[in-house]
Amino acid sequence: QQIARMAVYFSQAVQQSFIGSKSLVLLDWHRSYGLLAVAFKDEHSDADGLVNFYSDEGEALKSASIHRSVMTESLQWHPDKKIIAIGWQSGEITTYSDTDHEIFEQSSIHRAAVGFLQWNKAGSRLISGDKSGLLVVWRVEPRGQLHPIPLHQHRIQPLMHCVLHTTTLPSDRPRPGDISVLEAYSWQRKSEPNPETNSICCFCASSEGVVYYLNNSGECLERFRVGGQVHSFLFSAEKQLLVVITTDMNLIQFASNMDGQLSQTSKVKLSGRNKSSQIRWTEGAQLASCSNENTIRLWDLENTENYALNIHQYIQAIPNEAVTCIDYEPKRGILAAGTNGGNVLMWQWVGTNVGESQTGGTDKWEFKTFTSVGIPVDQVKWGTDKQLLGVSCGGTVQILSEQVMNTHLNDEVSAVQVSPTEMVVECHKTGMIHSLRTDVNIKGTFVTKEYLAVWSGKKVAVYSFSQDKPQTRVAGTFAAETSNVAVYEQNLYTASKTQVEVRTFQGTLKQSLVFTEQEGNLESMTVVGQYLVAGTTAGVVKAWDISRREPKATGSINLAGILPKCPRLTSVKCNCNGSKVSILLQKDNGCLQLTIWDVESDAVRVFSPASLTSPPEGDTINGATATLPDVTESALVEQKRLCVELERLCILSHHWDASDPQLLVCLTRPDNQERRQSEDGRGMKQGSEHGHALTVLFVTQYMNVVVNSIVPMETFYSGFIGISIPYLYFGRKPRSLVAMENVAANSSDPASVVARQTVRDFVGLEQGDARALQAMLSFSFNSTVGNMDEAFKAIKLIKSHTVWENMAKMCVKTQRLDVAATCLGNMGNARAAKVVRESRSIPEMEARLAVLAVQLGMLVDAEQLYLKSKRYDLLSQFYQASGQWQKALEICELNDRLHLKTAYHCYGRYSEALGAIPAAINSYEQAGTHRFEVPRMLLDDPVELENYVMKSKDKSIRKWWAEYLESMGDFDMALQFYETAKDYLSMVRILCFSDNLQRAISVAEESGCKAAAYHLARKLSIDGDKQDIAKAIHFYIKAQCYGPAIQLAKEHSFDDHLMNLALLSSQENMVDAAKYFEGNPSTQDKAIMLYHKAGEVSKALELCFEHQQYDVLEQLAEDLTEHSDPAMVGRMAGFLVSHEQMEKALNLLVRTRRYGEALDLCMDKHVTITEELAERMTIPKGANESEDEAKKKNELLEKLAECCMAQGSYHLATKKFTQAGNKTKAMKALLKSGDTDKIVFFAGVSRQKDVYILAGNYLQTLEWMKDPEIMKNIISFYTKGKAMELLAGFYDACAQVEIDEYQNYQKAVGALNEALNCLSKAKGKNQAAIEAKITFLKERMALVEKFAKARSLYQEDPEESVRQCSALLDEHSLDAAVRVGDVYGLLIEHYSHVGNYQQAYALMGELHDRLPTINLAFYVDAKTIETIHKALGIPLGRGVGGGGVVTHKLPGNEIEEEDAEEVDDEGA
């Protein structure tokens, strides 16, 4: 009997369409269509060739059969169309189109057997080569006919092999065969021309080992000679690697570039038989070969590895059974091998990394299944996307098609298909196992307590069986077109295309449940208890209650009208009470989507992991829902963690529990694996795919979905069958596979094909009654949603210690420490409860869980949790407690060096307790505690202790041993060990005790040990003579113990030693020695010095004054500070002044912060205050300075500044006034310095009104009329100082300068106008005076404007100008505004110019009368005066004009000043 597998390959022999005996030559599958071409020949003659064509079901295509009188040499299908090219032994090439059923012949070129035919990638070209060496490239017409004139032909050596030179898709593109390939690259076919449409690039190999390259230009180039006949010729487009294998089994690798250039990369000798070898590419750069041996050899060319798959490790092969042929299907990674024993074996690539491989590479392949065809196999060939395998067995051909092994679980009875026609039924309550062999190729099964139904799609068979007896019988069999069958009581429900038919077991139709054309074709049907549910391709789902005579419809829903873009329905399942239906919908990407339908409320919820932790309204359609109960924080965290994990999983199938209407289990796999066809509920795929897991869900009455757990499926299970609390039911792998995985089967019965695994929460309740199981279900649900009150209320009656323990262990997995505390309490484990409660102080959740795991004996889990939490200190303690000391020490070495010594110490105590003394010693030494622990440990074994001490070089150990010998009275040996330990104090102590003072002195001198010197000094000072006292003082000094030495020196009058000792000693000893010297009049200088060194400066000064030690006094003055006695400071300062030491006295006063007295001294004694001295007398600003302190500091600064002022240090005075905050005085000091730049700068930064005014006043004293920058600063300072009257006065002065110096009355008017504006803004106490000034200024400005206007009018209207000037002379206040001489000068010039000399002379007289003291030539040009005098005949010296510098000219008659001077000189 063949052991159960959850997927097998059915064997279907093709229909023979010929008469007679034929043997198969070639077979080839079309890669897109289910077409198989088979070439036969006559067994008795090579002169008869036949090519037949078959469908994927083995049916011969009657319209397609090609017969020739010669044998077929080669054949190959077109890559896309239903066209095949056939090469014959005679050189003819035949093309046949299965679409048009046309045959085309081409026989004009080749004259020898056509060795190969090769279509290009697009199918537009055909490359042929014959055994005479003719290589031909044909153009192919759309219908498959070859153009009569070849594109290219070359005569070379006889040809045997040809491979296309192609490139692979980029790595970011999907693999061929992926569901989304067409959609992902549909745009390319529309927008990008395919460069390989007419490509003919290929490599060809001759029988003599010459490799040629045919490029797109039609050139045939020789590339390489391999040196032998070619056996196999392979090219990897992915790796761009060409592999040539010769008949003597040499493997040569070539790397190819885009131009077909080859470079040899390696050459190796292969093992195996040469003539019968078959070699194929497998995954990556791996080659598989068979050569009529019992092994398949594989070579990893990339990693230079080789290994073998031995068929005897996987099947019980017949003697001398060998592999005869192989083929590889790259889409799913399946390697098929045929044997001469009639078996076809299959392995699947699982791709273990090279670094992880422990079995030489065989773990990279997982054995899937084997099928027996009964006849030796000579060829195997994979074909089409339907995963069909063509098998050649002599003259027959069989097609192996993969069939999902069908299973069903109902009422604790399971049915498992173990072969195409065999079922195993297991009654799990009684343990009875029935094996049924049928005459039906089983494609589905349904089981109840008494009946088993199987069907093939065209035939249905029903069997009855006994629960407790090995009895089975046929209950009925009939022919019917059906896709699904279910059984309820004595009725059989069969699913046809458009209806559910109710039949008897013999096939009699009793009733039909019809679906309309709009509702679609029936896709899935199931019966659970008394409820029938069916779903259609249009998304319509209906439910019936079939417990009555007439089925009663309980609900109906159309998903296409509810869900947007409703995916295709593939499976429906119903819970045990018919209230909810789970539906699997296949999305566009191939993944299955779970949808829940509530039959009573018609509410639909789409299962989405992202929405599980939120209220379901967003995912619930057609009905209002309630939210989840209150969820505790830890439960919510667990739900979120599970949801994150669920987002990476893809659903394969769904199963409701047989008793609980809320419990739903889904089989899932990682979403990143290659998508495979999902289950439809009747069966499962073969094998436990890597990463498969069971997701346990609870679906509440309000359509809430919560995740209970995600359980990984063990590798020794082949698939999931169903759930019936308290068990999960799995299909078992064949025992040969289980044995290879070193995993024991889950059933003791060898005939059992089903394994049961207890659901996690129900461990310990396997034999529990229904009440206990229901209580545990309630607990499981409520604990999942966090309702712990209801959870514990549900299980309060359960008393099983095992149940509580398993629940506590479950808490480790679910991270529920709150639940664990209750479980431990019910277990009565007080110690564990206390430890878990104390672990709350640990911040890491994983570490707290590890503490719980340790208490429950889950040591492996505890170790992993400690590692995950990175609490290496706790992990080390765990290893120590569990006796894993090496791991504990390693973890401390790598991650917890802080506790490394502690770990070594604990290991030492552990080793000591075990009696492993050497290990304990080594551990104590590593811990650094050996100095105490080893002597303690070896104290009862003196010999071992002495040996250890002798070997040890540790000083502490040797010192301890010396002390031990000393305590035993062995002083000589103790001295030796003290010496090796360099404990000189103990040596001197023993020597003094032994009265060996000479050696003690020698040890103390040579060692330099202070403690030894002190001990020896004390020994010498007791009852010693004067010489010993001197030695004692010497050793006290070496020990730096000066107090006892001073005391000895005083007692024995060693005054010459006393001073030096006191200077080396502390302040207290210095004062003590100073008092000693003070009592002796001849040593007062020593007393003063010691007081001074001890910091008693006042006492030292008193002694200086008392004993008139003035030389010492000046030295001591430098040590006085502000804290010194004021009277003493004053006395010292007076002393320095009296001795004309003004600078020292001043420094003393400043150092003691007596700044007032220092300033008085500077003033009285005319001591110049430097900047450095001034800074020293400036008190720094304190952080918490009081107002009184600030006031005193400012007063001192002002006094210092005034002193600097008195000494002429104006800049320094300015600085100190500024520091005192008196900027006005600072400016006054700066004004005295006359430093204009600093004055301007200081005024700008001071920002004070008074300072601005002072600066402006100062700048007016300068020659501002020559420097515009000064004028600008004056105006700015008066403006900023708001001194409008002063600014007006300055503008008035500017106007007067314009009149007096430049006679520019226009600018004078502007200046007067500015002055008027300033006065109008002026605000002061005497407003009347300001108004008077304004009135006067207006009158003056009016007169100036009149004269300026008259002057400017002279060029245009001289008479009017003269009239206005004459009128001006009558103004009584003209002298205050305009120079009168300027008016007369204009008139005199005018009359002289017009020849009225008499009038001009008269005006000269009036001017002379009005201004008798002025020189007329100052206002009138000298030449004009001379002209007037000459015209009137008046001598120049006697007239009113007497010469002088000319400063006035008529407008338009200006002359240079130099010319005027010359005229003046001539006049003189």
Whole-number Å distance between alpha carbons of 1003 and 1025: 21
According to DSSP, the β-strands at 278-281 and 262-269 are: unpaired
Whole-number Å distance between alpha carbons of 1091 and 852: 74
* Closest by CA position to 786, among listed 649, 674, 638: 638
* Percent of all residues in the chain with a pLDDT value above 70, rounded to a whole number: 81
Residue pair 110/91 in contact (Cβ under 8 Å)? The answer is yes
What mean pLDDT do residues 961-984 have? 84
Q: In this structure, what DSSP letter does residue 755 have?
A: E
Task: Categorize the per-residue pLDDT at 533 as very low, low, confident or very high, splitting at 50, 70 and 90.
Answer: very high
Whole-number Å distance between alpha carbons of 1429 and 1409: 18
Q: What was the pLDDT predicted at 1117?
A: 56
Phi, psi of 1119, deg, nearest 5: -100, 0
Element (H, E) at 1385: helix 1380-1394
- Confidence check: pLDDT of 635 > 80: no
Among positive and negative, which fits the CA dihedral 1327, 1331, 1334, 1336? Answer: negative
Amino acid at 643: C
- Confidence check: pLDDT of 1297 > 70: yes
Whole-number Å distance between alpha carbons of 776 and 803: 9
Least confident of 544-558, 904-918, 1353-1367: 1353-1367
- Confidence check: pLDDT of 1187 > 90: no
Amino acid at 1421: D
SS3 content of the chain, % helix, strand, coil (to 5): 40, 25, 35
Whole-number Å distance between alpha carbons of 701 and 579: 9
DSSP string, 380-424: EEEETTTTEEEEEETTEEEEEEEEEEEEEEETTEEEEEEETTEEE
DSSP string, 420-451: TTEEEEEETTTTEEEEEE-SS--SEEEE-SSE
Give the residue carrying structure tokens 């034999």. 767
According to DSSP, the β-strands at 102-106 and 93-97 are: antiparallel
Q: What was the pLDDT predicted at 1323?
A: 74
Phi, psi of 677, deg, nearest 5: -60, 130
Q: Where are the alpha helices (DSSP H) in 1166-1267?
A: 1171-1176, 1187-1206, 1210-1219, 1223-1233, 1236-1246, 1249-1260
Number of Cα atoms under 13 Å in the Cβ half of residue 168 = 15
For 494, the token pair is: 């069969």
Q: In this structure, what DSSP letter does residue 1184 have?
A: T
What are the pLDDT digits (tens) for 252-298?
999 999 888 999 998 888 876 666 688 998 987 889 999 888 899 99
According to DSSP, the β-strands at 396-410 and 7-13 are: antiparallel
Q: Name which residue leads in pLDDT, 1205 or 255.
A: 255
Phi, psi of 361, deg, nearest 5: 115, -15
* Sheet (strand 451-455) strand order: 444-447, 451-455, 459-465, 472-479
For 349, the token pair is: 């690539």
What are the pLDDT digits (tens) for 16-42?
756 556 677 788 998 888 889 998 887
Whole-number Å distance between alpha carbons of 1018 and 1003: 15
- Confidence check: pLDDT of 202 > 60: yes
Sheet strands (E) in 680-831: 683-684, 693-699, 705-712, 717-724, 727-732, 754-758
Residue pair 1103/1084 in contact (Cβ under 8 Å)? The answer is yes
Q: At what angle do helices 1110-1117 and 1097-1106 cross, to 10 degrees?
A: 160
Q: What was the pLDDT predicted at 359?
A: 56
Q: How many residues does the chain have?
A: 1468
For residue 25, what are the β-bridge partners? none
Close Cβ partners of 555 (under 8 Å, ≥ 6 residues apart): 542, 543, 597, 599, 600, 602
Among positive and negative, which fits the CA dihedral 237, 242, 246, 252? Answer: negative
DSSP string, 781-798: HHHHHT-HHHHHHHTTT-
Amino acid at 910: Y
What mean pLDDT do residues 967-983 have? 84
- Confidence check: pLDDT of 585 > 60: yes
Phi-psi region at 675: left, alpha or beta (left = phi > 0; alpha = psi -120 to 50): beta
Task: Categorize the per-residue pLDDT at 141 as very low, low, confident or very high, splitting at 50, 70 and 90.
Answer: very high
Least confident of 95-104, 179-188, 478-487, 497-506: 179-188
Whole-number Å distance between alpha carbons of 820 and 788: 12
- Confidence check: pLDDT of 497 > 70: yes
Close Cβ partners of 380 (under 8 Å, ≥ 6 residues apart): 325, 326, 327, 336, 337, 338, 344, 389, 390, 391, 392
Among positive and negative, which fits the CA dihedral 987, 989, 993, 999? Answer: positive
Q: What was the pLDDT predicted at 1448?
A: 41
* Closest by CA position to 668, among listed 660, 745, 676, 734: 676
- Confidence check: pLDDT of 179 > 50: no
Q: At what angle do helices 859-869 and 845-855 cross, to 10 degrees?
A: 160
- Confidence check: pLDDT of 64 > 80: no
Residues 834, 835, 839, 841, Cα dihedral to 10° = 50
**Residue 880 to residues 505, 874, 875, 903, 910, Cα–Cα distance (Å):** 69, 10, 9, 8, 9
- Confidence check: pLDDT of 681 > 60: no
Q: What was the pLDDT predicted at 1014?
A: 86
For the ranges 531-540, 619-628, 1119-1128, 1220-1229, the one whose mean pLDDT is highest: 531-540
What are the pLDDT digits (tens) for 815-858?
778 878 888 888 888 998 998 898 888 999 899 999 999 998 88
Task: Categorize the per-residue pLDDT at 771 as very low, low, confident or very high, splitting at 50, 70 and 90.
Answer: confident
Least confident of 139-153, 690-704, 1127-1141, 1398-1412: 1127-1141
Q: What was the pLDDT predicted at 95?
A: 94
Least confident of 44-53, 345-354, 1306-1315, 1452-1461: 1452-1461
If you average pLDDT over every residue of the chain, what do you get?
79
Phi, psi of 142, deg, nearest 5: -55, -30
pTM above 0.85, yes or no: no
- Secondary structure class of 246 (helix, strand, coil): strand
Whole-number Å distance between alpha carbons of 988 and 1018: 12
Element (H, E) at 1060: helix 1055-1064
Residue pair 858/809 in contact (Cβ under 8 Å)? The answer is yes
Rg of the chain (C-alpha set): 61
Give the residue carrying structure tokens 């002026």. 1322
Let me know how many helices (H) and strands (E) the chain has, helices first: 47, 60
